[in-house]
Amino acid sequence: MRLHLIGGPGSGKSLVARQLGERFDVPVLDLDEIYWTHEGGDYGDYDARADPAGRDEALAEFIRQDDWIVEGAYYRWLGEGFRKADRIFLVNTPRWVRRIRILRRFLRRKLGRERNRHESLRGLLRILRWNRRYDTRNRLRAQAMLDAMSLAWTACATLEEVLAELERPPKVLRASASEGQRPRGAGADTAGRPD
């Protein structure tokens, strides 16, 4: 099983990936772990990006495994990971739900109830701005990239929807996206990120 989940901030992709990993005993890679540095303490700082060469090597090493789940909001540098995935899920959650989750997560981290990524108020505001633009920019770009690569993807919002899709045979694109032949879910409200 090789799955890639992509979605905006607060979409639930990390939770779904963790639940799938536990259910199927498959390792999970949160792309934030390799995209950002770990200089800001036990988890890192959202203001300092990791070296792209090291990041790419870490991803390549992870996807050399037989089974894996990769989750994150990124898309531009993930071509090889997308190609190697058995299934790609665009985790689609309404913007207002994501906004509430982002704010709730920030508060839990500041209160010490959740692992702290050393987020600042400035970082929170940046994520909220990015979330506001996500559906009209990053998600569409990610979908266009997958379509240009002729890779099938499915829009899902919950673990139950992903599990139901895993019960079905994988979708195969038989024509280019420009010919309008997309799998069920393609073109629906779905997900991506700046890099």
Q: Please check whether residue 70 lies inside any domain of the structure.
A: yes
Q: Please state, in angstroms and rounded to a whole number, the distance separating the CA atoms of residues 131 and 110.
A: 20
Torsion angle of C-alpha atoms 73, 76, 79, 81, degrees rounded to 10: -30
Write down the pLDDT at residue 101.
92
Q: Please check whether residue 12 lies inside any domain of the structure.
A: yes
Q: What is the CATH number of the domain that holds 82?
A: 3.40.50.300
**Domains of the chain: total:** 1
Per the structure block, which two tokens stand in for 69? 């789940």
Q: Please check whether residue 138 lies inside any domain of the structure.
A: yes
Amino acid occupying residue 54 = G
Domain that holds residue 29: 2-179
Q: Please check whether residue 191 lies inside any domain of the structure.
A: no
Q: Please check whether residue 185 lies inside any domain of the structure.
A: no
Mean pLDDT of 10-27: 94
DSSP at 93: -
Return the residue matching tokens 């038989």. Answer: 174
Q: Please check whether residue 162 lies inside any domain of the structure.
A: yes
Q: Please state, in angstroms and rounded to a whole number, the distance separating the CA atoms of residues 48 and 181.
A: 40
Write down the pLDDT at residue 176.
43
Question: What is the model's pTM?
Answer: 0.79
Torsion angle of C-alpha atoms 18, 9, 153, 146, degrees rounded to 10: -130
Q: Please state, in angstroms and rounded to a whole number, the distance separating the CA atoms of residues 6 and 92.
A: 9
Q: Please check whether residue 187 lies inside any domain of the structure.
A: no
Write down the pLDDT at residue 42.
45
pLDDT tens string 32-74:
888 877 665 544 455 677 788 988 999 999 999 999 999 998 8
pLDDT band at residue 108, thresholds of 50, 70 and 90?
Answer: confident
Write down the pLDDT at residue 90.
92
Number of helices (H), then strands (E), in the chain? 8, 5
pLDDT tens string 125-182:
888 988 888 888 888 999 999 999 999 999 999 999 999 999 998 877 644 444 433 4
